[in-house]
Amino acid sequence: MFRDFASMREVELKADGAKLRAQMGLPKTPAGWVIFAHEGGAGLHGSALASVARSLNAAGLATLSMELATPAESARRAGLDAVALGERLLAGTEKPRHC
Per-residue confidence (pLDDT) for residue 1, from 0 to 100: 44
Per-residue confidence (pLDDT) for residue 98, from 0 to 100: 58
Among candidate residues 20, 36, 35, the one with its CA nearest the CA of residue 71: 20
DSSP, residue by residue, the chain: ------EEEEEEEEETTEEEEEEEEE-SS-SEEEEEEE-SSS-TT-HHHHHHHHHHHHTTEEEEEEESS-HHHHHHT----HHHHHHHHHHHHHGGGG-
Per-residue confidence (pLDDT) for residue 97, from 0 to 100: 61
Query: pLDDT (tens digit, 9 = 90+) per residue, 13-66?
Result: 888 788 888 889 988 888 999 999 887 665 666 678 888 988 999 999 999 998
Which residues contact residue 17 at a Cβ distance below 8 angstroms, ignoring those fewer than 6 apart?
Answer: none
Domains of the chain by residue range: 7-98
CATH of domain 7-98: 3.40.50.1820
- Mean pLDDT over residues 65-74, rounded? 82
